[in-house]
Structure 1
């Protein structure tokens, strides 16, 4: 079940919301956990037991860990179990395929393994479980001894299948006690609607062109089509994933939870380091706190810092998927960050021209690395790069620029670029005095509702017509 669907908007969300608020306060976690399990079972019933077993193991391990003598060994066992489960479903087939590539030329029989389907959300709930155990080991949090509360932390449906990655220590108090007043429900609903509009009205429309361009065979891809589809994908993935994060944050707010922000206008970054402070922040800070810093961070000298950086970004790429494309995507970002540290010295200092050049460099670098992220294979990515730089002569273009581009697309691209650059934040800051005046008269909520109402209506019409597609990050 996806948020931008009739089943969710017309059935699941209203019933869950009603059931939650008619339930006595002490039973609300049970109600929300039950609803979250049903939410997962709707889309992935065959792997529901796997998730519940993972929850049971980590719940008991955390309690043992809190009072264990050899705590380091126990946390290593716990992290190992979680990584084994993730690896078995997500990486085993990839590793076997690559091992066979070595064994076959040496005359050995290939290892035969049936690929396992990837459970939805396993990358996210596994990282939640690992951070939970590590934070208890570090004494940054205490284990939850109420199974229902811990189950809710892992299964809470707004963040269950595609994040953001929420640390247990950040919502531990909220699991025990929280309030969801009218202001929370209103603010959450508005945030959800904004995310829905990002997804349905912008990302889905751009996806049509991006998918068309990336589906063209390499020998038939014109340079103009390659650039147009790459621009559309660059904007699509931002509005798709940030839209999902907005919806998740908004939904959580409606039930009294405060989730951390996951995006902060990454396409306005002036360096790759700045980009990763703004893009998928819950993932980048997770790797920082649970991989980079334990490896030594930047405290062990320049070469060790660069080595730690490369380890983190290779793992970041591998986390996204078990293909060489994603590993190369992570390596590309590691290389760019290395160049900044060694040669360019990242930062935003300098005059307007220098900041503009830095920004242009970041956008170009990010766009070019997205090719690896979106392409189906390394060969596909290579063909796409050749087309981008005019190094391939298309033999009878299957798709033309004229067939993809329209006035509607041009206006949509302009709107998407302006919004991705931070126009909404600028308008909010500029209108701060007006917003304060409206808030003083208790009119801010009404005005905000009127502002997003057209987006809600248009999104609903698009969903009713069946014009939606799954979120990009569901595949991870």
Structure 2
């Protein structure tokens, strides 16, 4: 089931009504409903993979209980490694089996020892990368005594499968989300209204901007040899806007939906295209994943402590692993390595934490220096996205080569003026709200008149109804 579908438009109000009107104040019953609804939500795609998420839930629930029953460090390590191997084993099989097999065969063929092998027709379960990392964070935190193990199976299962963020995040930490299932939840009309606003903004970004940009990004990337250099640059821009509005739109809908049920999820995007350097970009883009790798991989490896070579090693590890997390393709690995190259000068000159505040605080416009920094960072990001979008390495290299050597005299594809205006509108709204959680958060401070706010809401709804692009699956469903 996807957020921008009629199925979800029917599903959500039904669950909401039962949750608040029939089960109000009954925390246990509400948790059972959320678990049941989450399994329906996930099983709508392919019910067979419910067994996978249930098995993963059982494994980590049991290991968490077992960790609480022993203080022997060797036994605790064994339990931790069982969880890591089971979870990453499933992820590795479904997501990376054919990739490793094909590269193994290619390597031996290159050395003159051809091997005959058959790849498997493996269907990648939606959301496996997300809920795998979510359950792993639970086991690791219990092992490190950061979190008491959950002894209530319903609550733990609901935490793992919580439908708003199940298939594309945010990747929640057990320390944040799990305790919320224990507490009695009281309906908060202010939080619910804020949630509806965030859902509306997320839908606008997804169906009006991302889905329309996807049409032109797909045409240009799939036929790149036929287009001029400047048109290829336009295609890269279209994908740059598409992936941001697609993924941040999903996150907005997920976070807004959670608010309707009394839950608070972590923020996943913080206006990344306003970043002044790549380090700031990665503090603002897919925050739940970047902080997961920071806390569970980068810091255990030593982080930025130690000598220069340790810093370089850890930087490349974290970015390459992050790239590989996105998919079994060398393009993702190169995308990660390229971002490591972008990031490294900042780290080695101790400027990686230079821009921690919001840009142009207390000002209407950025300074010339800030604006230049944004443009440079944005430009490097656009180039990296070409690798992310391309189907393979040869396509990515060909695309970039033609983009810089092709004809720059004219754009050979027409981008509708309304799409351009919608993109400009998006960045205008997000700029004036850049110090708030999402584009139309707390509008009372920007538009003090109720009628003015309703004009904006009406505009967004009408835009969704009349200017939605052809329905596209959320990009991050494939990860």
What's the counterpart of residue 397 of structure 1? none
Aligned residue runs from structure 1 range 77-96, under 5 A: 77-96=82-101
Say if 2:275 and 2:374, in contact at 8 Å, map to a contact too.
yes
Matched, 1:318 2:318: no
Structure 2 unaligned segments of length 5 or more: list them.
361-365
**TM value normalised by structure 2:** 0.89
Note closer, same or farther for the CA distance 1:148–1:412 as it changes in structure 2 (3 Å cut). same
Say if 1:241 and 1:471, in contact at 8 Å, map to a contact too.
yes
Give the Cα–Cα distance (whole angstroms) in 2 for the partners of residues 297 and 437 of structure 1. Answer: 41
Name the stretch that deviates more: 315-324 or 234-243.
Answer: 234-243
Matched, 1:363 2:372: no
Say if 1:195 and 1:247, in contact at 8 Å, map to a contact too.
yes
Correspondent of 1:180 among 184, 187, 190: 187
Give the Cα–Cα distance (whole angstroms) in 2 for the partners of residues 273 and 300 of structure 1. Answer: 20
Matched, 1:333 2:335: no
Give the Cα–Cα distance (whole angstroms) in 1 for the partners of residues 435 and 223 of structure 2. Answer: 38
What's the counterpart of residue 13 of structure 2? 14
Correspondent of 2:66 among 43, 64, 67: 64
Say if 1:20 and 1:28, in contact at 8 Å, map to a contact too.
yes
Correspondent of 2:216 among 209, 214, 239: 209
Structure 1 residues 66-118: Cα deviation after superposition (integer angstroms, max 9, x where no partner)? 22322122112211111001000000110000000122343343232313110
SS in 1 for 2:163: coil
Matched, 1:435 2:444: yes
- RMSD (CA atoms): 2.8
**TM value normalised by structure 1:** 0.90
Note closer, same or farther for the CA distance 1:366–1:419 as it changes in structure 2 (3 Å cut). farther
Question: CA offset at residue 393 of structure 1?
Answer: 6.8
Give the Cα–Cα distance (whole angstroms) in 1 for the partners of residues 460 and 424 of structure 2. Answer: 17
Say if 2:194 and 2:256, in contact at 8 Å, map to a contact too.
yes
Correspondent of 2:275 among 260, 269, 292: 269
Give the Cα–Cα distance (whole angstroms) in 2 for the partners of residues 131 and 433 of structure 1. Answer: 32
Say if 2:273 and 2:281, in contact at 8 Å, map to a contact too.
yes
What's the counterpart of residue 164 of structure 2? 158
SS in 1 for 2:165: coil
SS in 1 for 2:164: coil
Give the Cα–Cα distance (whole angstroms) in 2 for the partners of residues 267 and 123 of structure 1. Answer: 25
SS in 2 for 1:425: coil
Give the Cα–Cα distance (whole angstroms) in 1 for the partners of residues 168 and 437 of structure 2. Answer: 28
Question: CA offset at residue 296 of structure 1?
Answer: 0.9
Give the Cα–Cα distance (whole angstroms) in 2 for the partners of residues 426 and 52 of structure 1. Answer: 39
What's the counterpart of residue 404 of structure 1? 414
Note closer, same or farther for the CA distance 1:172–1:344 as it changes in structure 2 (3 Å cut). closer
Correspondent of 1:418 among 418, 421, 428: 428
Structure 1 residues 114-169: Cα deviation after superposition (integer angstroms, max 9, x where no partner)? 13110000000000011010010111111111111111111111100000111110
Say if 1:158 and 1:249, in contact at 8 Å, map to a contact too.
yes
Aligned residue runs from structure 1 range 372-387, under 5 A: 372-387=387-402
Say if 2:224 and 2:232, in contact at 8 Å, map to a contact too.
no
What's the counterpart of residue 404 of structure 2? 389
Question: CA offset at residue 344 of structure 1?
Answer: 8.6
What's the counterpart of residue 127 of structure 2? 121
SS in 1 for 2:425: helix
Note closer, same or farther for the CA distance 1:73–1:262 as it changes in structure 2 (3 Å cut). same
Give the Cα–Cα distance (whole angstroms) in 2 for the partners of residues 342 and 167 of structure 1. Answer: 30
Give the Cα–Cα distance (whole angstroms) in 1 for the partners of residues 61 and 219 of structure 2. Answer: 46
Name the stretch that deviates more: 74-83 or 348-357.
Answer: 348-357
Name the stretch that deviates more: 137-146 or 156-165.
Answer: 137-146
SS in 1 for 2:232: helix
